[in-house]
Chain A
């Protein structure tokens, strides 16, 4: 069918869910005990600790913080992020990483063609647009956080750098589960990078990497149709998981992928079928734990 229109569905009345303990909303008093340390999402007033966002209170030792359901990305050193170049400056690129300020990628924080130990010359400054231009995507690691909250990122490792062919999916950063590794070669035949900032990159399975050119040369050969089908299905699965607010990590994605196999790619676009697939996955994950 070329087109598919239907009357809007009524949203399912969600079953009454028990309110989690220690759920707070802005302005709520968390504690009047002064022994605690003030974390994110809280503020002090009149010697009482108040919440400033809506979420569940988390206490780690003496630190109290409230994590909202979704926010812009709050970078931490060591996080894997995916970013898009928005501006080429004189010694740095400005990168959109879904944080509240653009991140900076210094010219000195990238591996330039010709080996790691190469000295950066004035010519490199003029050639910056040749390496990374506006719109290009990179994977990188958070190197440090500036005082105003902006991030400084680097790509000085072979696993980071400019991204080639693939699809980007953006989800809320809070849906990305923190893992040891965020780079996965999924058994279904595609690789994904789950950026901590909520940007997910799906690409064809990395073959024999040609490491010449320091990763600035892109392979623009057509992707095999079979690989493309896998990637497309993965994309739809990740979009579906995010839509129904499931955490994203290799297992959940893989299970959803497997559950989705009973439908064709076009069928998966229908919300009710996607919902069914996600519920199947949820059940399977719950059984395993």
Chain B
């Protein structure tokens, strides 16, 4: 609830205690055996649990879990555009992206901040080329994404989750959208699907900071195109192109999960309607 902070007797500014911890050991991206902290290899993605149709009130919904990164998404609509705008033969998309207040290491505010607004915009833009918007003129589709727990790559997970939720809503789509993140550490090392400790923080890079950064891409597997690219950090253009290629490879590996999930959800729906049909007969 957006609180009236003036009346709540709590300090105006608080900091997480971790800031004041003196980390004695320097964090190493890779262990000595070349594996990552959670024993994954460089280009290994975390196992994914994906389920569609988890919010019964919504027209479509999905939940994704990749180890500790958990995102839930619900889709409502298409309904009439509320704001008075010009006539449009195409439907419009609106996406609200929110980190739950408890989802990140530090507490987040209830109000959507500018980062979250931006994320919402990017998700809407990433889904737009995948959705047959001309099928619902003058109407609007609302997508609500909430990150329940953020352990890195939450944005990529949100992209995948949102696209599954839209498909689950029975909205006609040209393609599904799959998100994948990557952290580049030096010219040659890149870590796919980074956890929050592996993720890129510009100031934490020691020495030469060139070619350190992170890349997130949204991939449309059937069209073989990218619908979103977000890059931070300093990366050579040639390396950046390679990063995108690796993100695509990662997405291709996620695709079977998405496809299985949608097939299962469709089966479930069919069974359900058969059951209700039987009940009606009785």
Interface residues of A (CB under 8 A from B): 87-88, 134
Residues of A within 8 A of B86 (CB): 87, 134
Please name all residues of chain A whose beta carbon is closer than 8 Å to the beta carbon of B87 when the two chains form the complex. 87-88, 134
5 inter-chain pairs at a CB distance below 8 angstroms, sorted by A residue, are A87-B86, A87-B87, A88-B87, A134-B86, A134-B87
Distance of A87 Cα from B86 Cα, bound (Å): 8
Looking at chain B's contact residues, the main secondary structure is loop
User: For the side of the interface on B, what is the size category?
Assistant: under 10
Interface string of B82-99 (1 = CB under 8 A from A): 000011000000000000
CA distance A134 to B90 in the complex (A): 13
Residue of B nearest to A135 (CB): B86
For A88, the chain B residues whose CB sits under 8 A away are 87
Complex: how many Å from CA A96 to CA B92? Answer: 25
A85 to chain B, nearest CB (A): 11
A265 to B86 CA separation, bound complex (whole angstroms): 37
Chain B residues in the interface with A (C-beta under 8 A): 86-87
Q: How far is the CB of A277 from chain B (nearest CB, A)?
A: 39
Q: Please indicate the chain B residues that have their CB under 8 angstroms from the CB of A134 in the complex.
A: 86-87
| Bound CA span A87–B87, Å | 8
Provide the bound-state CA to CA distance between A68 and B87, in Å: 36
Q: In whole angstroms, how far apart are the Cα atoms of A134 and B87 in the complex?
A: 8
Q: Which residues of B contact A87 (CB under 8 A)?
A: 86-87
**The 4 A-B residue pairs with the shortest CB-CB distance in the complex, in nearest-first order:** A134-B87, A134-B86, A88-B87, A87-B87
- Cα(A72)–Cα(B270), bound, Å: 63
Closest to B86 in A: A134
A220 to B60, CA, bound (A): 41
Least Cβ–Cβ distance between A129 and chain B, in angstroms: 8
- The smallest C-beta distance from B260 to any residue of chain A, in angstroms, reads 43
**A282–B55 alpha-carbon span in the complex (Å):** 73
Closest to A88 in B: B87
Chain B: minimal CB distance from A86 (Å): 8
A242 vs chain B, min Cβ distance (A): 29
A19 CB to closest chain B CB (Å) equals: 47
CA distance A88 to B88 in the complex (A): 12
Distance in angstroms between the alpha carbons of A88 and B86 in the assembled complex: 10
Expressed in whole angstroms, the Cα–Cα distance for A88 and B87 within the complex equals: 9
> Cα distance A35–B86 when bound, in Å?
51
Distance in Å: Cβ of A89 to nearest Cβ of chain B:
11
User: Within the complex, what minimum Cβ distance (angstroms) separates B81 from chain A?
Assistant: 15
- Nearest chain A CB to B282's CB is how many angstroms away? 47
Nearest-Cβ distance from residue A95 to partner chain B, whole angstroms = 15
For the complex, give the distance between the alpha carbons of A134 and B86 in Å. 9
Complex Cα distance A176/B167, Å? 56
Give the distance to chain A from B69, nearest Cβ to Cβ, in Å: 42
B199 to chain A, nearest CB (A): 35
Q: With A and B bound together, what is the CA distance between A218 and B100 in angstroms?
A: 52
Distance (Å) between the CB of A204 and the closest chain B CB? 29
- A87 to B88 Cα, complex, angstroms: 11
For residue B128, give the distance in angstroms from its CB to the closest CB of chain A. 20
Distance between Cα atoms of A155 and B87 in the complex (Å):
24
Bound-state Cα–Cα, A87 to B84, Å: 13
Q: How far is the CB of A94 from chain B (nearest CB, A)?
A: 11
The distance from the CB of B197 to the nearest CB of chain A, in whole angstroms, is: 41
- Chain A: minimal CB distance from B84 (Å): 12
Smallest CB separation, B85 vs chain A (Å): 12
Bound complex: CA A88 to CA B114 (Å)? 37
CA distance A271 to B1 in the complex (A): 56
B134 to chain A, nearest CB (A): 14
For A86, give the chain B residue with the smallest CB separation. B86
